[in-house]
Structure 1
Amino acid sequence: MITNFSLAVAKRILLEKLGEGVNAICSPFSISAILNSVVAGAEGATLKQLLGVLEYKSLNDITKTVSLQSMSSKGGGPTIYFTNGVWVSKLFPLKPSYRDFIKTVENTKVEEVDFQNEAVEEKINLWAKKATKGLIKNLFSSGTIPKDTISIISNALYFKGDWENPFDASETRNEDFQLLSGQIAQAPFMNQIDDYYDFGSFEGYKVLKMCYKNGTDANSLATAINGQQERCFSMYVFLPDEKDGLPNLIENIKFQNLFNEQMKLDTVRISPLSIPRFEFSCECELSNIMKMLGLTLPFEHNNELTGMVYGSNFEVTSMLQKSYIETNEEGTEAASAIGMICSASPYKPPPVEFVADHPFMFIIKEEFTGCILFMGTIINPPPSTN
């Protein structure tokens, strides 16, 4: 289950990177997955807020999320790998109920570490590098994990798929690409002539569906294999009609209803098909975006993330996602890793009012021996003699 909230976060990432003038990629699935890990450890108003923004009716909805471990197509289809990891302080062991959840429901690797003395960044970076086939090498820069960290919750996603209709590399050539500023840049364009694709034209934009090879008929919605439905993977390219129309498209398109019956595509002959070859990385700090969208309580010290570990109150202090994609004549390779830092922050209780404006008692005591030197009451403070 990809939640509407995760899609809203992804939308804000795209708009944020658009404002910075850089390419963007993120993983709504991994965002949903890591938020599920927070839901499982929350209570009170924080749990209520999480269930609300994720549109879950109860904790049982977590177990209904899609498992990508079983998504890889059989018979030569795309390679899919998804894994979770939790690194927890040796001083704050995981509660059995939470450990059982992340191990049985999320199939999570759990490792106890010493955040005070170990180079935990190296451990997590090696794990992320292995999980993403070397595409995400440094999820956390050296020294970025605070010493007071209680746990790091992370996941990694890897995808590699070949096109059903691969491009001929000899037809790739540099062509003009118009930037949002109106300037022209040169980019390597992959080209095809007279191939059939699913295509649709809508108000303000066009959509092209490019299927990845399944080992069977990639254009079928699903093929029954051993009593199960084979997964089909595709890339959808949304092309605005206006050269500078991308900001308006992202701002106004309804991602949560994107693939319903209203976006009907027909198989048509495309000639020519010309699309840039691209390769880039992207990173984004997600916590501020989530706060802006209304998910605030997990990032506050409110004593309601108590279901994860014993012995401390904590909050989510940062959430970083790094992603990579390469799309070329053969297909697409992409990866994403996300890391959420949960730390114990200094707790400053609200000030307590103490105004001695009515009768009171006082005691003067020697603390080591416990000897009470004086006791008294004030029922009518004498007026000042000055």
Structure 2
Amino acid sequence: MKRPLILLFAVTLAGVSVTSAAPRLWGDTITEFAVDLHQAIRSVDTEENIIFSPLGATLILGMIKLGARGATSQQIKEVLKLQGNQESEEFSGLRKLVSVISEENKEFAFNLANALYLQEGFHVKEQYLHSNRDFFKSEIKLVNFQDLKASAKIISAFVERQTNGKIKHMFSSGDFEPLTKLVLVNAIYFKGEWEHKFSSDATYPQDFTVKKGNVTKIPMMHLQTATKIGYFSDNDLKYNVLELPYKGDKISLVLALPAENVEIEALEKKLTEPVLREWSTKLTQEMVEISLPRFKIEHEVDLKRSLLHLNVTKVFDQNCNLSGITDTSDIYISKAVQKVSIEINEAGSEAAAATGMQVAAMSMTNHRFVADRPFLFLIRHNESGSILFMGKVTNPDVSDARGRDVESL
């Protein structure tokens, strides 16, 4: 009987809201993977909202690829668009990118942590452990998966600590089994402030069209500021793209909003790496009146189903080749999960005075971006072009926003 090698990891984005040059190659490849993964998730996931981290998924697949061989390794290489022939070539750029993003920065909070939890007594090759420390700075920890409850508590505590308490109780005893030998965990936490602040006094309930004929009330934030905006058209598909920088201008939130008569699915189908690159080059600085929902959404992505959709099948097969991890042949990946929490609210920088000074000048602008219907978003590291988080919001009123936030307004 094959023993499952369970792959589980968590990622969170908190708040509303990297500096030296990172290889453009990884910016492009992560963007390509982001688009592919988004299409796969929307094909297999029935949730209204989609939120995931392409960077987190890239890192965890990279951790697996270090121990994969043969066709198992090749499938991961293809889905990540890797080009090098040696691991040092394939991951040197990613290692630099991770180092850049993880550097201490006073303008925003960012934490990225990887860990391998090994069953006590289970032999893992030293080269695999060394490579994980070298490329991904992975922590190596021992646990006893015979005690399912204790194992879940230990690993969940790591996730909670690394995500500043935003993701709690990530794992339960039901997620593991006595045959589990190794769990790989990737946790990401980001919290930033807007470069231009939304005033809480300018937030009030407003209609949001979830589906045709289905309208809900949500807290809508409002801001008038100078920022980048673009207008795009592809036959009958018309949409606007808005960029909202976080403090320091290293990371930005990019929003894509279809025209009122265009379904969000039509825009999703058009997403490609060249299209996303075009957004970066064709936005212009304008005075814009912005209306953006205030919301908090959590989403758990079944990455196994999504990766199978992308032809990453061998690693989940009982005949997979993970001989770079251990000499034991009867192991495979049985589960892959990513959990994301995202919160968008008014919290911003100290630039309120400058924003306030711009209101009078902007009252005459014709540029308006009103996100009162489903939209796409991504959070991008501007210098490398790497996408840290990506998703779709079709219903911002999914938790207790109606019962608490709207009434509080």
Matched, 1:70 2:100: yes
Aligned to 1:340: none
Q: 1:182 to 1:313 in 2, by over 3 A?
A: same
CA distance in 2, matches of 1:95, 1:83: 21
For residue 262 of structure 1, report the CA deviation from its aligned partner. 7.4
- RMSD between aligned alpha carbons? 2.3
Aligned to 1:206: 240
Q: 1:117 to 1:73 in 2, by over 3 A?
A: closer
For residue 120 of structure 1, report the CA deviation from its aligned partner. 1.1
Matched, 1:187 2:215: no
| Residue type at the aligned position of 1:329 | E
Q: 1:328 to 1:73 in 2, by over 3 A?
A: farther
Matched positions, count: 315
CA distance in 2, matches of 1:101, 1:201: 45
Between the two proteins, what is the percent identity of the paired residues? 28
With 202-211 and 41-50 compared, the bigger mean Cα shift is at 41-50
CA distance in 1, matches of 2:98, 2:68: 25
**Residues 205 and 240 in structure 1, CA contact (< 8 A), matched pair in contact too:** yes
Which of the numbers 253, 262, 268 marks the counterpart of 1:250? 268
Matched, 1:5 2:41: no
**Residues 108 and 193 in structure 2, CA contact (< 8 A), matched pair in contact too:** yes
Q: 1:48 to 1:68 in 2, by over 3 A?
A: closer
For residue 64 of structure 1, report the CA deviation from its aligned partner. 1.6
Q: 1:243 to 1:177 in 2, by over 3 A?
A: farther
**Residues 230 and 279 in structure 2, CA contact (< 8 A), matched pair in contact too:** no
| Equivalences for residues 151-190 of structure 1 within 5 A | 151-190=182-221
Query: Which runs of no fewer than 5 residues in structure 1 stay unpaired?
Result: 219-231, 337-386
For residue 153 of structure 1, report the CA deviation from its aligned partner. 0.7
Which of the numbers 275, 278, 298 marks the counterpart of 2:315? 298
Q: 1:75 to 1:90 in 2, by over 3 A?
A: closer
Q: TM-score, normalised by structure 1?
A: 0.76
For residue 40 of structure 1, report the CA deviation from its aligned partner. 0.5
Q: 1:37 to 1:238 in 2, by over 3 A?
A: same
For residue 209 of structure 1, report the CA deviation from its aligned partner. 0.2
Which of the numbers 152, 157, 166 marks the counterpart of 1:135? 166
| Residue type at the aligned position of 1:326 | E
Larger radius of gyration: 1
What SS is found at the alignment partner of 2:222? strand
| Residue type at the aligned position of 2:33 | F
Matched, 1:50 2:81: no
**Residues 135 and 324 in structure 1, CA contact (< 8 A), matched pair in contact too:** yes
Q: 1:282 to 1:205 in 2, by over 3 A?
A: same
| Equivalences for residues 297-316 of structure 1 within 5 A | 297-316=314-333
CA distance in 2, matches of 1:190, 1:261: 24
**Residues 35 and 271 in structure 2, CA contact (< 8 A), matched pair in contact too:** no
Aligned to 1:353: none
For residue 15 of structure 1, report the CA deviation from its aligned partner. 5.3
**Residues 13 and 26 in structure 1, CA contact (< 8 A), matched pair in contact too:** no
What SS is found at the alignment partner of 2:307? helix
For residue 242 of structure 1, report the CA deviation from its aligned partner. 3.0
Q: 1:96 to 1:104 in 2, by over 3 A?
A: same
Query: Which runs of no fewer than 5 residues in structure 2 stay unpaired?
Result: 1-25, 350-378, 380-387, 390-409
CA shift digits 1:34-74 (9 cap, x unpaired):
00011100111212222222221222212221543432687
Aligned to 1:120: 151
| Equivalences for residues 249-328 of structure 1 within 5 A | 249-255=267-273, 257-260=275-278, 263-270=281-288, 272-328=289-345
Instruction: Tell me: higher relative CO, structure 1 or 2? Use CA pairs within 8 A at least 6 residues apart.
Output: 2
CA distance in 2, matches of 1:286, 1:74: 30
Q: TM-score, normalised by structure 2?
A: 0.72
Which structure shows the bigger proportion of residues in helix conformation? 2
Aligned to 1:84: 114
Which of the numbers 37, 40, 53 marks the counterpart of 2:63? 37
**Residues 72 and 320 in structure 2, CA contact (< 8 A), matched pair in contact too:** no
